[in-house]
Structure 1
Amino acid sequence: MRPAEFAVPALSRRQMLRGSAMFGAGAAFLGSPAAAFAKSEAARKLWPSVAEMTDEFVGGGKAVNMVSVLGFGQKAPAVIAKGPQTRDGAAQADIDSLYRIYSMTKPITGLATIMLVDEGKLGLDQPLGEIIPAFKEMKVRTAGGGTVKAERPITVRQLLTHTAGLGYAIPGMPGNSEYGKLGLTSGQVTRLPIPGLSGGKSVTSLEEFADTLAGLPLIYQPGTRWSYSASIDLLGRVIEVASGMRFDRFLQRRIFDPIKMVSTFFRVPASEKSRLTTNYGVMNGSLVPLDPAVASIYLDQPPLYWGGSGLVSSARDYDRFLRMVLGLGSIDGTRVMSEAAVRLATSNLLPDTASTAGTWVQGEGFGAGGRVGLGDNEGTYGWGGAASTAAFVHFGANLRASVYTQVMPQGENAVQAAFPKAVREDLAEMATAAAA
């Protein structure tokens, strides 16, 4: 699933501090016992550019619905929502509607990996072959179609940062066709027979995924180039081996339960079906249902638990995940992971030997499954999903922000470019108002 290609807001330290202070009074109002309409109007006044963006996309027919969640520190968030969960439905999208977050699963898997590094069960630069022996002796494909021996072992760091040399079963990604034929799928989109989207036969466990992947030559020499890949899915198996626990259960016990993410699933329970949104595709400028909520593929048991793209979540749940990250591992008095682990996960973990030239992250860093800002964007961490979702934290601004809609491919409606731009504009306006 191709991720967000967004740049999170760049602000001066003065703007960050004033923007955060400006929001304090508004947050108290939003948390008071007020009507939902009053809360919505207050959120729109605090974040007028985000509200305008929402009206433009939903009102202009670029999206059926949109939900944005924005908050400072550990305060209650502002929520801006517009449109129905499904085009012909009565239920309106809100903070508890369910969205396919696709690659926004990656930061969750990334932080889960760093938990095990922090506990000494994994090493950041530990060779993958020590964890999964099938990866001890890897080959690398040459331009001429042959193979050569890998010059260095794949490491946990490389898996976290997409620098292990692996391919991905996504159209346009290196290795797409070969991976797909072998069942090394990267997620699911629909039950409908849509060429290129309905998927094919998939391996049925992370163990099989890892063993099959180990039998293929790498696309690049490990540690030499950033290339979006199946590495985060492979980390699901690494977590299983290191923890002795099935991957989905590890996420449930170590992340979802302590954070109280009660609406995050690999499979949407029948009891929660009424909250699921429909995913749309763009055809001749119009939105057509790709995965109708009433017959979604996410109501089925998935063939395996994709750590890179497999989750459905609510805006409320993901905001709680961001709160934990912004709280440096703690939320509502519960310590989920250590401060050191969060700081490591959200730092630039790219190997010194790896190039990002010509890639989606050129000029930026990469942490545990998410983009890390450098220079003017320092202090930011986040990623997005293939169905036009995006989420990030900005440590300097003490900000968490996320946006949700369901349109594929994500580049068709530019939500992931418009959202951070709108956030940046509103933060700047808050800073100006605070200075007046």
Structure 2
Amino acid sequence: MAYRDFAADQISRRSLLRGSAYLSAAGLLAQVPFSRALASSAAMWPTVTATVEDYVAKQKVANMIATFGWGQQAPTAIARGTLELGGAAKADMDSLYRIYSMTKPVTGIAAMMLIEDGKLGLDQPLADILPAYAEMKVQKVYDGPITEDNLEPAVRPITIRQLMTHTAGLGYGIVQKGPIARAYEDAGLIPGQVSRIPIPGLSRGKPVRSLQAFADGLAKMPLVLQPGTKWSYSVGLDLLGRVIEVAEGKPFDEVLKERIFEPCGMDSTWFQVPESEIDRFTTNYGILAGVPLPMDPAASSIYLDTPPFPMGGAGLVSSPRDYDRFLAMLLGYGKIDGKRVMSETAVRVGTGNILPATATTQGTWIAGQGFGAGGRVSDDAFGWGGAAGTAAFVKFGGGGLRAQLFTQYMPSEAYSIQTKFPELVAADLAVMAGK
């Protein structure tokens, strides 16, 4: 396998764990009146179905699943393909996928639960929970040298709101360049994993072995922007994982299990795939010159290993059925199956635009849109995507639509499907509405 060319030409660190810009099309959904009674079967989604079938038939991907649901109703699934190219096992609602940055809304919503409990405040200074962040320094020149003459004091404290919305001024090893990117790598501040296979150009050093070590190491790094001034994709949600475990007094992964996964009936979402579940795990592919090559085979996946720490920004593996349960809880404004998981207010705040008034989005992936607790906000839609082609959103108006796309390839920019998913959904909704 030509891993050197693969790494150099096909996948950059910058694109590695980035959430997609897919919700930029979500505004189209707001223009389409629709009835959930019309969309209760897969046959009512011909544009989406044709696209899914085309990708699988042409072997661009091994599998692809799109799911749709209205309010609390059972989901409709369009599933094609197998867990790996050439394999026999069919992909379905219970297949397991690396959801990467779709982890971020889960972490953000967990933080909203602690806010409703009074254990955190939306505008509470981070230093209240993690004192090491009390006196942060900021680079004067973005991605410039890490020297005293290029550092200045932060003019305002980092807040919980800023961690949720990528406005804290924190960097990201997959986004930054130059000295700060190398400093993150040297310090093991690596909140993501791809493969056991050593791929030149993608090896990013040895990560620290706990969330505490991650948070402590990050506090020693300068910020790349002044807090609260600009949206910049970051490790904010990973750091929020440490905030959550300190505020709750138990490990972050246990908090997610107790507060979200178990109450929502999500029994197939983990930071580490159990060996007993390998037979439903998908293979992840890297796209080289339009050809998918296995970069993380399911049987030898890095997700079978104990992760260095629970990565709140990009660490989860989940199934379409499980993540649909999470979306259904949001559409129920905190309730699912008649059981309340969180307050309606916390859902409304977390899925609404909570960008700081002082922060700009100009020139960024979300220009002209909002951002909530780990996900993009566009009109009445909330959601995010993952680096391996996954996407999910909820639309609160019109009866409450939840929609997902699951597949496994990297980088997500290699194909247009993730970005165009809302357009395909909108096209089918327009037909349903007779437009």
Length-normalised TM-score, structure 2: 0.92
Could you tell me which of 112, 117, 120 is aligned with 1:119? 117
What is the distance in 1 between the residues matched to 2:84 and 2:389?
A: 16
Q: What does residue 256 of structure 1 align with?
A: 261
How big is the shift at 1:12?
7.3
Note the C-alpha offset of 1:22.
2.1
Asked if the contact 1:10/1:424 (under 8 Å) is kept, the reply is no
Q: Secondary structure at the match of 2:27?
A: coil
Picking from 393, 403, 407, the partner of 1:405 is 407
The aligned residue for residue 240 of structure 1 is: 245
| 331 and 187 in structure 1: CA distance in 2 versus 1, 3 angstrom threshold | same
Q: 1:177 to 1:107 in 2, by over 3 A?
A: same
1:354 to 343, 354, 359: 359
Identify the residue that residue 177 of structure 1 maps to in structure 2.
Answer: 182
2:298 aligns with: 293
Return the letter of the residue paired with 1:70. Answer: F
Decide which of 415, 422, 429 is 2:424's aligned counterpart.
422
- Counterpart code for 1:352: A
> 1:66–1:82: 8 Å Cα contact kept in structure 2?
yes
Match of 1:167 among 164, 171, 182: 171
State, as a whole percentage, how many aligned pairs show the same letter. Answer: 56
Pair 1:10 & 2:27 matched: yes
| Distance (Å, rounded) in 1 between the aligned partners of 2:28 and 2:38 | 15
Compute the displacement of 1:8 (Å): 4.5
Q: CA deviation at 1:421?
A: 1.0
CA deviation after TM superposition for structure 1 residue 56, in Å: 1.9
Maintained 8 Å contact 2:108/2:164:
yes
Residue 82 (structure 1) aligned with residue 80 (structure 2):
yes
Partner SS, residue 400 of structure 1: strand
2:69 alignment counterpart: 71
Partners of 2:113 and 2:127 in 1: how far apart?
20
Secondary structure of 2:385 counterpart: strand
Q: Is the 8 A contact 1:280 1:407 kept in 2?
A: yes
CA distance in 2, matches of 1:285, 1:13: 34
**Partner amino acid for 1:380?**
A
1:95-244 maps to which residues of 2 (within 5 A)? 95-143=93-141, 145=145, 146-170=150-174, 175-244=180-249
Amino acid at match of 1:240: E
How has the CA–CA distance of structure 1 residues 173 and 269 changed in structure 2, closer, same or farther, with 3 Å as cutoff?
farther
Contact in 2 for aligned 1:192/1:198 (Cα 8 Å): no
Q: Separation in 1 of the partners of 2:261 and 2:138?
A: 37
How far apart are residue 10 of structure 1 and its match?
Answer: 3.0
Amino acid at match of 2:367: Q
Note the C-alpha offset of 1:432: 1.0
User: How far is the alpha carbon of 1:100 from its aligned partner?
Assistant: 0.1
SS in 1 for 2:66: strand
CA apart distance, 1:176:
2.9
SS at match of 2:308: coil
Encode CA deviations 1:33-78: one digit per residue, 9 max, x unaligned.
Answer: xxxxxxxxx41x1100110110121122221110111111111111
Match in the other structure for 2:6: none
Quick check: 1:314 aligned with 2:331? no
**Which structure 2 segments of 5+ residues have no match?**
1-16
Q: Residues of 2 paired with 1:13 and 1:53: CA distance?
A: 22
- 1:278–1:366 distance in 2 versus 1, CA, 3 Å: same
Superposed displacement of residue 178, structure 1 = 2.1
Give the 5 Å matches for 1:319-338: 319-338=324-343
Instruction: Go from structure 1 to structure 2 and tell me whether the alpha carbon gap of 1:297 and 1:47 turns closer, same or farther (over 3 Å shift).
Output: same
Inter-CA distance 84–141: structure 2 relative to 1 (3 Å threshold): same
Contact 2:67 2:78 in 1 (8 A): yes
CA distance in 1, matches of 2:410, 2:31: 38
After superposition, the CA RMSD in angstroms is 1.5
SS in 2 for 1:432: coil
Counterparts of 1:354 and 1:11, CA distance in 2: 26
Letter paired with 2:261: F
Q: Distance in 1 between matches of 2:19 and 2:74?
A: 27
Report the CA distance between 1:14 and its aligned residue: 8.1
Q: How many Å separate the matches in 2 of 1:156 and 1:248?
A: 19
SS at match of 2:194: coil
Task: Report the alpha carbon displacement of residue 424 of structure 1 after superposing the two structures with TM.
Answer: 0.5
Question: Given residue 26 of structure 2, which amino acid in structure 1 is its aligned partner?
Answer: P
Cα separation, 2, equivalents of 1:171 and 1:363: 21
In 2, the alpha carbon distance for the partners of 1:173 and 1:356 equals 20
Secondary structure at the residue paired with 2:212?
helix
What TM-score results when the alignment is normalised by the length of structure 1?
0.91
Pick one of 282, 288, 299 that aligns with 1:277: 282
Q: Distance in 1 between matches of 2:219 and 2:419?
A: 36
1:385 paired with 2:386, answer: yes
Deviation of 1:284 after TM superposition, in Å, equals 2.1
Give SS of 1:140's match: strand
